Amino acid sequence: MKIAVPMEIRPNENRVALDPESCRKLIQLGAEVAMEAGAGIRAYFPDQAYLDAGVTLVPDPARLLAEADFVAKVNGPAARADGSHEVDLIRPGAILLASVFPTRHLDAVRRMAERGLTVFATDCIPRTTRAQAMDTLSSQANIVGYKGVLLGAVELPRYFPMLMTAAGTTLQAKVFVIGCGVAGLQAIATAKRLGAAVTATDVRPEVKEQIESVGGKYVGIELGQSAQAGGGYAAELSAEDKARQARMLAEHCAVVDMVITTALIGGVVAPRLLDEAIVRSMKPGSVIVDLGADGGGNCTLSMLGATVTVDGVKILAPLNLPATLPYHASMLFSRNLLNFVTAFWNKPEARFNLDWDDDIQKGCCVTRDGRVVHGPTLKVIQARAGE
């Protein structure tokens, strides 16, 4: 089986789907691995490291993808600078493994179905014990939580830790984390390591123990109905619970120095949690780090991909933070892909086995046999058709 890794073409994307070590392991399993020349350079993996691992370097992405049985990417296919589309370069009938976010990229999903591609979205892999090692959402969210705190610390006009100096004592910063999935828990741990006093909230009260385990103090409301969407994801709140949550958020945001939001519904869509009134109630010099920016933003005043200041409150809404730490982000992403491929690898025949009775493959397959088969994506497509 020929596995191909093209260079990522989305703006400011520095990651690569497979690092040299993962390529070496796939080759040992009998796969032929080819990569677009230079694809790993922005992640600090030089071409020579791939050559040493046994990878074939191909300068022409069109030839690379036309000959591939299996394509590994970080992002789903996108339009190229020359007006063509990556989907059109991939051989019909090939398998694609990437972080697709299909409900956000419906045009690409339709193209992939029409091309006859079998597409597995790593962001749709079920959150089960067996699939943990394949979960790119979690591996990349760890980076988001870590880097988001560092960005906020740079912008905050005060220290994080309490410091006792000859000139007097400075009090520690107060950080409030909203949304405590993987990114939120990492944000709590990072802020705590830097010396801040950290409080945190989540619509799923069962995460209280996890918050406390990384050094945070849980705050929350009693929900009228469960906010658990299954698979470790949060669901949307009822109107009553939203109102009660908004009051609680307003109270806490007004007394802290930094707010970090990481909330996503179903791991995809960012709910609007901080409105203009909450922002204007915060202390001058406060900082909001909106880590829900890739999902649309948790703050109504966020400017996605930029930083704005409102009444002395600085609002950061960074996009694609994993790409700012491309070496480790690529290494972890690569391990996730390797674990997915090897879990279904047929060693005697040296190829990837399609198994539609397997819960993982069924759960993350977006298109196959010329059709869109991913349930949530189909619902969005149908809803758009009815508008």
**Catalytic (active-site) positions:** 127, 132, 135, 138, 233
d(CA 165, CA 172): 13
Q: Report how far apart, in Å, the C-alpha atoms of 306 and of each of 14, 301, 313, 321, 326 are.
A: 19, 11, 14, 13, 20
Q: Please give the helix or strand (H or E) that residue 287 lies within, else none.
A: strand 287-290
Q: How far is residue 126 CA from its own chain's centroid? A: 15
Geometric angle at alpha carbon 91, from 85 and 97, rounded to 5°? 80
Number of other CB atoms surrounding residue 239 within 10 Å: 7
Q: Report how far apart, in Å, the C-alpha atoms of 221 and of each of 78, 203, 288, 350 are.
A: 42, 8, 22, 53
Question: Which residues pair with residue 308 across a beta bridge?
Answer: 315
**H-type helices in 17-125, by residue range?**
20-28, 47-53, 61-66, 106-114
Instruction: State the sign of the Cα–Cα–Cα–Cα dihedral 130, 266, 138, 19.
Output: positive
d(CA 83, CA 73): 20
Helix (H, G, I), strand (E, B) or coil at 332: helix
d(CA 56, CA 275): 52
User: Rounded to 5 degrees, what are φ and ψ at 264?
Assistant: -140, 135
Number of other CB atoms surrounding residue 275 within 10 Å: 14
Determine whether 342 is exposed, middle or buried from the number of CB atoms within 10 Å of its CB (0-12, 13-18, 19+): middle
